[in-house]
Structure 1
Amino acid sequence: MSESVDAASASDDPARLCEEARVLAENGGADRAARLFERVLALGDTPYRARAALGLAVVLDDAGDVAGAREADRAAIATGDPEYGPRAAYHLALTHERAGEHEQAGPAWRVVVDFGNDAYLPPAHLALARLADDAGDFEAARGHWEAVVATGDAEYGPPAAHDLAQRLLERGEPARAQRVLTAGLRLIDRAAAPYAYARLAVALGISYLDQAIGAFGAALDSAGEPADPEVGPLATELLARTLPLRGRGAEAGDVWRRGLADPGVAGQVRARLRRDFGGDDEDADPADLWWEPVVEQAVSDGTLPAVAGEAFGALDHMYALLAVRYADDPAERRPGETHELLGRAVRVPSDYAWGPLLHESFAERLRLAMGAPAPALPPGWPDA
């Protein structure tokens, strides 16, 4: 009689059943593993109840029984076990995340946090931060992001620092973003995670750019009074050249225009705007060169690459038209073809904003070269 009782006790040993179930689950025996985990649960409130419930949840989830898996997760959570309870809540949250059920995932993540197990706090806080951020609750999201960084976790801390810093930059708080990013960088082994390090390093650089933009702007904004004649031109240039780095080219153009419109500093601002221009022809007055205002305007508006593209495109078109005909045998050219070709070439710039200035320049050069009375250009030249 005693031997049968001992055998029954051994067969119902929860520790042995859980271990057998684990081995079966890892070796393709999911159905048998589930039955063993259920036997442990049937034993009632044993020290292995939470472990068995979580094991059953994982096995059922892998088998596609999500509802059963969630029920088992809740059973593990209900035990209050400090290890398997938060793990079950973590698993439960993931099943909801996977299904796109973010509202249901939130409470599960909060249960993970309530358990206070350090191993599961970082992913739980990060998930809650993103849920709050999606809901537009910045303060709640900030608290969770800061909690992740505070854990010192090398996996979840850096993305939390990056996400929080992005929101702080959007809110015009670059100094706070810098502190968060610096803390995030300390968590990364640069050699082991170079991409994560580079991501935060670039964000840190951007935060300094934003802080510089604020400082340069403050130097120019003094209750509407004229800019300081010494500091104003420098601040104007620094602000105008930094704004495009943050995708704010239109604002940079406004900064240049305000500086050029201030008679107290306009000359110095123009000199800084033109610092990269080539030297002027000694015999030419820059005011007489029709393209100078075009280039200056393009620099202030940030459209110089576009203007250069137009100019080179026109030059390429003209050159191709003329060079092909120049290479032909003169005997093969039909009468009037050269004049027609030249007409096609000179019409190209008419499509560009600087085209009329080129045409006016030609008309004036023609007048100066031919004297009075200058030859009359055809009506509507050069487009007609």
Structure 2
Amino acid sequence: MSTTPDEATADPASLCEQARLLAEGGRPAEAADLFRRALETGEGPVRPRAALGLAVVLDDVGDEAGARRADWIAIDSGDPEYGPRAAYHLALLHERAGEAEEAARAWRIVVDFGNPRYLPPALLALAQLADEAGDFETARRWWERTIDTGDPQYAPAAAHDLGRRLLERGEPARAQRVLAEALRMIDRESAPYAYARLATAVGIAYLDQAIGAFGAVLEDPEAAADPDIGPLATELLARTLPLRGRTEEAARVWAHGLAQPGVAEQVRARLRRDFAAGGEESGARWWEPVVESAVAEGALPALAGEAFEAVERMYALAAVGQADDARRLRRALLDVAADYPWGDLLRDSLTDPASGPPGR
């Protein structure tokens, strides 16, 4: 049974309240009828309230054109509460329809109202629309205005987006300042994910600043040739670049350092600092140049995979034979592997009937 009040006794405010209850109860069509009646008879703040309510329920029933008209009634009223709310709703309608220019117009109306409850999301939305359109300078201004609101939800999000773009544009110091300032706005205990997301961005900004600093050192021929500076800067730059996915650049840095007279051997010593110590003199083992090249090119994991695969293939070939020589070769492979930390893993793989050739 309908809960619609008697037309003769219902005032516009009561109609709006009843319409709200109907909408929340899943009866948007009936709610729309009441909002229309309130809009026709109401005056003052009741009209924009009824108009916004009508826009929302018409949107729910699929009447987007009617929803937009109702939003404009609320906007044109100039009401400081329902006006910006209606513009907010209208902006979402345009965004959903893929109408970026119209959405931006509606978001700017929200901004013009100046209601602090709706200002931060509107500013951030305008920044995102400008960013999607490739207009960085306009996006930057909207992001900065969002940050200036100090809103705990939207200001850090704006800082993150602005910082990311600044990093892409090669401005890590500026990005770091924006991000670090926004990080102080977040309560780590109540918003751990937002804090971690922004803190990670701050760390990336520091990495990019370090890359820029080390690169600047190596661009100075005198500093690059200084044995106390050049080799260290070469190693730090070459080992930092892969953290930002720039492995090819890292390989070029190592190659440049290894070609510098006077410091090449020190650069090579830094490149080889993690090489395993052996009984032979350093550099005498045939595989070390291969490993050195793999380290410089960021291909060491691939090389390790190839080496382990080669060991398994050798064992598989030895396992085909049944003669004493083949058995001794299999034992020798396993005995040699036992001297290394990964020896047990290799042995288990080779002696598991389900995954490889038979064991001893």
The residue correspondences of 1:5-154 to structure 2 (distance < 5 A) are 10-11=9-10, 13-43=11-41, 45-154=43-152
For 1:288 and 1:24, how far apart are their aligned partners in 2? 85
Q: 1:313 aligned to 303, 309, 316, which one?
A: 309
Match of 2:340 in 1: none
Match of 1:266 in 2: 264
Q: 2:155 aligned to 143, 154, 157, which one?
A: 157
| Deviation beyond 3 Å, 4+ runs, structure 1 | 7-11, 223-226, 284-288
What whole-Å deviation, never above 9, does each CA across 1:157-190 have from its counterpart, x for those lacking one? 2221111111000111111111221232223222
> What's the TM-score once normalised by structure 1's chain length?
0.79
Matched, 1:189 2:191: no
Match of 2:358 in 1: none
For 2:55 and 2:317, how far apart are their aligned partners in 1? 76
Show structure 1 runs of 5+ residues with no match.
1-6, 343-384
For 1:226 and 1:246, how far apart are their aligned partners in 2? 23
Following superposition, the deviation at residue 105 of structure 1 comes to: 1.1
Q: 1:233 aligned to 231, 234, 244, which one?
A: 231
Q: What amino acid maps onto 2:159 in structure 1?
A: A
What whole-Å deviation, never above 9, does each CA across 1:197-230 have from its counterpart, x for those lacking one? 2111111111000000111111111167752221
For 1:47 and 1:278, how far apart are their aligned partners in 2? 79
Match of 2:201 in 1: 203
Q: 1:169 aligned to 161, 164, 167, which one?
A: 167
SS in 2 for 1:119: coil
Match of 2:249 in 1: 251
Following superposition, the deviation at residue 268 of structure 1 comes to: 1.0
CA contact (8 A) 2:224 2:231 kept: no
Query: Against the structure 1 CA distance between its residues 289 and 30, is the aligned structure 2 distance closer, same or farther, given a 3 Å change threshold?
Result: closer
CA contact (8 A) 2:223 2:230 kept: no
What whole-Å deviation, never above 9, does each CA across 1:254-276 have from its counterpart, x for those lacking one? 11111111112111111111111
Larger Rg: 1
Match of 2:290 in 1: 294
SS in 2 for 1:143: helix
> What's the TM-score once normalised by structure 2's chain length?
0.84
Q: What amino acid maps onto 1:118 in structure 2?
A: P
Query: Against the structure 1 CA distance between its residues 54 and 320, is the aligned structure 2 distance closer, same or farther, given a 3 Å change threshold?
Result: same
Q: What amino acid maps onto 2:297 in structure 1?
A: D
Show structure 2 runs of 5+ residues with no match.
1-5, 331-360
For 2:141 and 2:14, how far apart are their aligned partners in 1? 43
Identity of aligned residues (%): 67
For 1:225 and 1:201, how far apart are their aligned partners in 2? 33
Q: What amino acid maps onto 2:169 in structure 1?
A: R
For 1:46 and 1:295, how far apart are their aligned partners in 2? 80
